[in-house]
Chains A and B, each alone.
Chain A
Amino acid sequence: MILIKVLLLVFWLLIIPLCMGLFVQSILPTTKKTLGITFICGYLLSFASFEIVAIGSMLKIKYGAFIVCCSIFSAVQMIIAILGIGITAAKLRKSFTEAREEGTISTGAFEKVKAAFLLTFPGNKKAEPEALMSPRTDVRLLKLQYSKEGIVFWAIFVLIVVFQLVMAIAMAPFDGDDAYYVVESLLAQQADVMNTILPYTGSSTSLDIRHAMAVFTMWIAFIAKMSGVHATIVAHSVMPLVLIPLVYMIYLECGRILVGSKRDALPVFMIFIALFQMFGNTSIYTAETFLMMRTWQGKAMVANMMLPLVLWLFLWRFDDCRKPGYLWKEETGGGKTIIRNSTWVLLFLVNMAAGIMSSMGIIFCGALIGLLSFILLIYTRNFKIIIKVILAMIPSAVYLLIYLAVWMP
């Protein structure tokens, strides 16, 4: 029974988001099609689609709203995941057919799996020596091999993260807000309601729109319902195991852009980040304290997932301001508009995901996107940015309109 629950958690928390990420992958430049970025994109799409399904169910259905929400959302996730798998399978089949016709197909099973992995995640491909030697190669677009020292640094980083994950299960932080947020998740799982029972006492209540719109509690309840694990265990013991590594994946992508071709500095950067998270508990207010002590609360995710996502997307956006280089056309699939604007599409999803975390997430992400877009506008003097940022902010505007419409009937 426990094994089945664990497998269900793996299915809904790892496999489905990854497959959903494969669907988003088609709009990414080649070097960004890595396993990590695919996973991040999958989660973004999952959160974004959950916002529509959950808020719709909560506002439109009076009784048993949560069970309807679960049915629709699981179907939506499955459809997107199957589409993602289908697109990838078609791509693999085409590549393997071409390789077979050319007679270049590998014969060993391991080679085939490796080839399939690199075709699915071409961004994970390490640079060939001849590519590095070419004066026309833009090394920022390539993944380099790590030195032995770099591998040791990676091992140290992994050890720190494993320690943090073990401590996330072994230690129990007390936070009074859990009496609200975690109970909301449990109420959804046990009573099929969405924010219509007062968590503190169990009495019926009207919809508290400020908290209700932040449906991250319902997303946790969805995972609990689908896996059959108690929502409090999901929140306190399962979420840190998934969300903390996810946060590090985002920082990893920030670091990858920052250190550029000095790849051995990347694990060092990540060690500093991991230590900073662990030792950033200088007060109860810091983002790091929220990540380590309230991982499962929406505001912790705003501070530690949504805002770093905005930072990464703008680092990427600014990085793309370079002159198109040798591999640029290959990188963007022949300069496709959607691929060149993938950061804006992802920002659109970030704005949707921020809404499920907290109403504050909408304001903070909006403010940071506004500031960084303004700086980007000054730097590039490209006025199309104004239109792109307005389009990316549409989810926030819709969210605020719904908020005001319900709040002021």
Chain B
Amino acid sequence: MYGIFRENLVTFKLYGGNGYLLFLFVAALIYLLFTEKDMRKKLVIAIAPFIVLVLFFLPVTKIAFVAILDDGADTYYRILWLLPMGVCIAYAGCKLFESHKRIGLVVVSAAIILCGSIVYKNEYMKRAENLYHIPQVAVDICDVISPEEGEPRVRALFPEELVHFVRQYDTNIMMPYGRDIIAWKYYNAVHEAFENVETINASELLKTTRETKCRYIVMYKDRSIDYSLEAMGLTLIDTIDGYNIYEDPEMVE
């Protein structure tokens, strides 16, 4: 039981990141627990969150959560979503500086800004290249290989960095493997031959792509390969932003 409690503590720390905003929330919660005179408000935004916080740390809650949800162990942190952190901090801030609104506005805003981390500096946040919010290179490559209206769908092999985006742009392009193979490291013969080797074995790659009926292979021009795909009979139909697009004539219906 103590081990599970420690796990919950780690989850709590990971949720809080630098921990300062969590500290601000806990401080606001304690402040409201002791100073809020209106019992109705206190019950909803102080006592109920306090109970949720206590329940979060209880090992039995985690045991029940994991039993109910398949991925409960990975998503246990979401119980913390039940805590109205923003509301508690904002209301405590308003209450604390009730008669000094301007000072309160500056002090509490500064506290939130300094304790927090701005979302736009997140490592996964990039400047948008288009309204689809996917890399423009993926859009341009898809435009080249996308089947015309009435034509059958095509299957294409893409390097890992583009796999996530292809079908967000065009579902008429199928792939031999998707994000599941990359994220959860499942076995896939095409992925093994294309990504899990330092130098691609061209004949091995073609064997797997033909088995999965891949008409196109998209490969970065500097990707190490033992034998040119063009020499293997494929046609280089275009190069976009350094990505070569090969068509396999044997797979053209």
Contacts and interface: CB of A to CB of B under 8 A. Distances in A.
A303 B19 CA distance: 20
Interface in A153-189: 153, 167, 169-176, 178-180, 182-183, 186-187
Given A183-B171, A236-B131, A281 B44 contact: no
Given A199-B178, A264-B101, A265-B101, A173 B124 contact: yes
| Max count, chain B CB within 10 A of own CB: residue among A233, A287, A289 | A287
Contacts of B81: 287, 302-303, 307, 364
Contact of B167 (A173, A186, A277, A285): A186
B89 A272 contact: yes
Contacts of B127: 170-172
Contact of B44 (A283, A293, A318): A318
A232 B44 contact: no
B112 interface: yes
B207 interface: no
A262 B98 contact: yes
B21 A282 contact: yes
A306 to B, nearest CB: 10
A258 B52 contact: no
A48 to B, nearest CB: 21
Contacts of B48: 371-372, 375
B117 A282 contact: yes
B228 interface: no
Interface in A255-313: 255, 257-259, 262, 264-265, 268-273, 275-283, 285-289, 292-293, 299, 302-303, 307-308, 311
A130 B174 CA distance: 69
Chain B interface mostly helix, strand, loop or mixed? helix
Interface string A342-384: 0000000000000000001001100110011001100100000
A173 B123 CA distance: 9
Given A176-B183, A179-B163, A232-B133, A360 B78 contact: yes
B111 to A, nearest CB: 9
Interface stretch (B102-110, B198-206, B215-223, B239-247): B102-110
Contacts of B108: 272
B42 to A, nearest CB: 10
A364 to B, nearest CB: 6
Interface size grouping (class) on chain B = 35 or more
B112 A190 contact: no
Given A202-B167, A271-B105, A282-B117, A174 B126 contact: yes
Contact of A279 (B78, B116, B168, B174): B116
Interface residues of A, number: 86
Interface in B40-95: 40-41, 43-45, 47-48, 51-52, 68-70, 75, 77-82, 84-87, 89-91, 93-94
A288 B39 contact: no
A230 interface: yes
Interface string A301-345: 011000110010011001101100000000000000000000000
Contacts of A191: 171
A95 to B, nearest CB: 34
Interface in B182-204: 183
A203 interface: yes
A39 interface: no
A25 interface: no
Contacts of B177: 200-201
Contact of A271 (B52, B109, B155, B171): B109
B129 to A, nearest CB: 7
Given A237-B133, A276-B112, A318 B43 contact: yes
| Max count, chain B CB within 10 A of own CB: residue among A169, A182, A255, A308 | A182
**Minimum-distance CB pairs A-B, first 7:** A200-B178, A279-B116, A202-B174, A282-B17, A272-B90, A172-B133, A236-B133
Interface of A: 149, 153, 167, 169-176, 178-180, 182-183, 186-187, 190-191, 197-203, 210, 230, 232-233, 236-237, 251, 254-255, 257-259, 262, 264-265, 268-273, 275-283, 285-289, 292-293, 299, 302-303, 307-308, 311, 314-315, 318-319, 321-322, 360, 363-364, 367-368, 371-372, 375-376, 379
25 contacts: A153-B101, A153-B105, A173-B133, A176-B164, A179-B179, A200-B178, A232-B169, A236-B131, A237-B132, A265-B94, A265-B101, A272-B108, A276-B85, A279-B21, A279-B119, A281-B119, A282-B20, A287-B81, A293-B119, A307-B84, A311-B45, A311-B84, A322-B40, A371-B48, A379-B43
